[in-house]
Amino acid sequence: MGTYADADAATAANGLYDIPKFGNVSFLHMTDCHAQLKPIYFREPSINLGLGSMKGNLPHLVGEHLLKFANIRPGTSEAHALTYLNYEKAAARYGKVGGFAHLATLVKRMKASRPGALLLDGGDTWQGSGTCLWTNGQDMVDACK
């Protein structure tokens, strides 16, 4: 994925999910969409407080400390997904994230390349947006169908 660090947005977006297959079984996993039906620009926080023995340890590392610990090259899609560093440049390159239309397209693409793949939802799908609250989650039920 670091290959796309300096690519234009369209090339980078197309290459982010070009993942080689391995093994005989494929699981696709989504989590924490928080009922966001429309895409957003995502920015990881610049602070994640760790107290006591957790101070300075995962999952409380952010920014350059996280990149160094995880051996992630700055400017890559992984760096954009996991840190706030160079946010404006990375957001322009990689674009918005999320939204169910995008997710549906991605799931269809991945399932087409991996027939029989099982899609798992790790949670937080049914809460987190005003429309989900106002419809008692029906908007998300409809979107997931």
pLDDT in tens, 56-110: 888 999 999 999 999 999 988 889 888 999 989 888 888 887 788 888 888 898 8
pTM (global) more than 0.75:
no
What mean pLDDT comes out for the span 32-57? 88
The residue ranking higher by pLDDT, 20 or 130, is: 130
Distance, in Å, from the CA atom of 99 to the CA atom of 66, rounded to the nearest integer, reads 27
pLDDT at 64: 94
Distance, in Å, from the CA atom of 62 to the CA atom of 84, rounded to the nearest integer, reads 8
Q: Please report, for the chain, the start and end positions of each structural domain, with discontinuous segments joined by +.
A: 2-27+37-117
pLDDT at 141: 92
Both tokens of residue 89? Answer: 């440049």
pLDDT at 61: 93
